[in-house]
Structure 1
Amino acid sequence: MNKNPGENDDAQIRQLQETVAHLTRLTEELNEVIARQDGEIARLTRRVDMLWRHAAEQQADAESGAIPLADQRPPHW
């Protein structure tokens, strides 16, 4: 014979509660990962912008006839 129908309902409710708790924890963990990645993307974007500006300045200096910094002798020579 089957168990008491109420017991089956309780087991299903318990299973659903466990599933919801697991999904809630997973969602919070994924949110933390996304927030961390957002900060990293912002930092890397700033760094790339800085490198682009630096490269543009070097190209402008090279085009103006200045000696590129990499080809200049150090001041102690």
Structure 2
Amino acid sequence: MADQTALEEKIAHLLRSVDDLSDIIARQEGEIDRLNRRVAMLMQREAEREYDAGDSVPLADQRPPHW
């Protein structure tokens, strides 16, 4: 009986750990989405700034020199 109780306790702890990790992943997914939107917004702003400055092609749209 003691073995069964110990196994039940381990399973309960594992289930809690899985739930905690799931919550962490969900929060991180939201944070990554927000950061991706911010980076896209900043890249758009920089491309517009470069275009307004009179550069022919915004740097964000140019191929790197090694291509």
TM > 0.5: yes
Letter in 2 for 1:36: R
Residue equivalent to 1:34? 25
**What 5-or-longer segments of structure 1 have no aligned partner?**
1-9, 65-77
Q: Does 1:16 align with 2:19?
A: no
Instruction: Spell out, residue by residue over 1:12-61, the C-alpha distance to the aligned partner (whole angstroms, 9 max, x if none).
Output: 11000000000000100000000000000000100000000000000001
TM-score, normalization by structure 2 = 0.79
Residues 1:48 and 2:42 aligned together: no
Give the residue type in structure 2 aligned to 1:18: E
SS at match of 1:63: coil
Q: Which has the higher contact order (CA 8 A, sep 6+)?
A: 2
Question: Please, what is the CA RMSD of the aligned residues?
Answer: 0.8
The alignment's TM-score, normalised by the length of structure 1, stands at 0.69
In structure 2, list runs of 5 or more residues that go unmatched: 56-67
Whether 2:50 is the aligned partner of 1:59: answer yes
Percent identity, aligned pairs only, is 47
**Greater C-alpha radius of gyration:** 1
**In 1, Cα distance between the equivalents of 2:54 and 2:34?**
30
4+ residue segments displaced more than 6 Å: none
Size of the aligned set, in residue pairs, is 55
> Residue in 2 aligned with 1:4?
none
